[in-house]
Amino acid sequence: GENVEQHPSTLSVQEGDSAVIKCTYSDSASNYFPWYKQELGKRPQLIIDIRSNVGEKKDQRIAVTLNKTAKHFSLHITETQPEDSAVYFCAAAPSGYSTLTFGKGTMLLVSP
């Protein structure tokens, strides 16, 4: 089955810096890659996603890139703010399956 590795597990940045979280996947047939943000004590919420026919997608300060050849995708957050502090999960959708395989999460801490 699909396996998703996520790095780093913890990331500390200063406000205004950029943050990058990287994920690799094992199933070359996976075709959908969402990113979720989970604030403390709350549910994970989708922040951005990308499909395998697209190499990059942006939404204001957030961007996701996908390299199908290398089987990795990354979340980029620019001009980080304290409210960006949360746990971020990447995921991959194996072809033909109704489930998502999640990475183990990255705790992002943005210091003022």
CA–CA separation, 23 and 19 (whole Å): 14
- 71: contact with other proteins by CB under 8 A: no
String marking each residue 25-44 x if it binds other proteins according to CB under 8 A: ------xx-x-------xxx
Contact between 31 and 86 (Cβ < 8 Å)? no
- 48: contact with other proteins by CB under 8 A: no
> What does the angle CA 41 – CA 45 – CA 51 come to, to the nearest 5 degrees?
150
Q: Provide, rounded to whole angstroms, the least separation between the CB of residue 10 and other proteins.
A: 11
- 103: contact with other proteins by CB under 8 A: yes
**DSSP of 32-51:** EEEEEEE-TTS--EEEEEEE
CA–CA separation, 4 and 39 (whole Å): 21
- 54: contact with other proteins by CB under 8 A: no
- 108: contact with other proteins by CB under 8 A: no
If the CB atoms of residues 80 and 106 are measured against other proteins, the closer one turns out to be 106
Task: Give the footprint of other proteins on this chain (CB under 8 A).
Answer: 31-32, 34, 42-46, 49, 51, 89, 91, 93, 95-100, 102-105
